[in-house]
Chain A
């Protein structure tokens, strides 16, 4: 059976996906599968940037061009802004990035500071993680934490310890890229637990189903973290379909694929459930006016099967 059949009519919120690395075909497929909103955390572009202007242009594209691109497909695009852990290690550049962050974190549609945290768990990473926690606290914004691939369990505990040390409420912190080894502590300490369904390196969605069965749907949310690597921008709807197939209730599915993320990030004051259930097409600030015209929030559709291109 086509996974789309079992989730027809459902709405999804992918709370971590790097759309600047994806094509319009991905946007179209996500919209068709029911993704109505997403969060694009600022991250590493696969190679290090060498100047602060590259960061400025990247942040500006997250609140500008990429948001507009998503709106063409009827998808609401939010973002979190921050200095990622890998590039925190270039200290001279990191200082300059810290200086421009306040220009961006108060912007409309910026729903948190992220993704920040640890990669190699160096002293520089520690320093800029702490500085950005303070920034988030001052701005009243949630924090989206990237947990490390290596030494993950320790790194996750340490990330939470430091967040508490800096006076953040656990309810304002979304700890991302969890697995079977980290989830219990994250939930026990009152933080939100994000899970990335990403082939080979992070979670598979069969394991995800088992986690929801074991821990229930409270404070758990899933995402694709699709980026420039081998990843799947339909990971959230596909996992919803698998959960349904394996007997998880519709209410629980809605919590982990939509509502919990909305509740967590709505604390920014920059998104709300009421807003998300409005069609994006009625937002007159996001009309498309290229050489063809957008109507009702939908991009003009190209028939991929046809050899004729008009």
Chain B
């Protein structure tokens, strides 16, 4: 995955400077793996690689999905892509070190960092360690942070239990997300969710408010 993502970064127009910078930082981090360096590179990414939208050729989109089923970088900016790639440079041999190091980034994250972090969940090591964090992303009150975990992200469908899954779908309707972009929407339909959504629809009608799009698909 790391190589495929880096190849995609290299393919972006005018990315020579960014690529040189990322190579230098990787070498420096491998030579002297200081956590402070890891954090600085992650945080300061937009200053060095820019924030332009990426071009995603069809063959690359296909290649990414072959490495990690359901994984998509459609609509990403270059800093987001580079941040996710950078997270993959952290050695994963020691679980508690790995989880704690990335956990600190979640704790101190600003909006765009959080988007990158939640986008990265499906490609991080130790998926079980991120389950609670993923539900925190859904509890977040900022639209793009919610979307990073809800929309075009295979992590919830792959790992959430039924209660967490249902909580996410209800929140997605509640916050006007395009639920058709949620991976596993049909596969993970269940009776309890159908009941909750039916109640929600009734509550909306009683208040004289409109129903969210596609809610009938799950009720």
Contacts and interface: CB of A to CB of B under 8 A. Distances in A.
Interface of A: 56, 59-60, 63-65, 67-68, 100, 102-104, 106-109, 269, 284-291, 293
Top-3 shortest CB links A-B: A289-B143, A63-B110, A289-B175
A64 B109 contact: yes
A103 B108 contact: yes
Q: How large is the interface on B (under 10, 10 to 19, 20 to 34, 35 or more residues)?
A: 20 to 34
Contacts of B46: 108
A102 B36 contact: yes
Most buried by B among A67, A106, A269, A287: A106
Interface of B: 36, 39-40, 43-44, 46-47, 104, 107-115, 141-144, 146-147, 174-177
B111 A286 contact: yes
Nearest to B146: A289
Contact of A56 (B43, B108, B177): B108
Nearest to B39: A103
A120 B73 CA distance: 52
A65 B108 contact: no
B119 to A, nearest CB: 13
Contact of A64 (B39, B43, B110): B110
Nearest to A293: B176
Nearest to B47: A269
A64 B114 contact: yes
A289 B177 contact: yes
A63 B105 CA distance: 13
Nearest to A294: B143
B174 to A, nearest CB: 6
Contacts of B143: 287-289
A117 B26 CA distance: 37
Nearest to A104: B108
A68 B111 contact: yes
Given A68-B142, A104-B108, A109-B110, 11 more contacts: A56-B107, A59-B108, A60-B107, A64-B114, A67-B111, A284-B144, A285-B115, A285-B144, A286-B111, A288-B143, A291-B175
Contact of A290 (B40, B114, B141): B141
A100 B108 contact: yes
A106 B44 contact: yes
A148 to B, nearest CB: 30
A63 B147 CA distance: 19
A50 B43 CA distance: 27
Contacts of B115: 285
Given A289-B143, A291-B174, A67 B43 contact: no
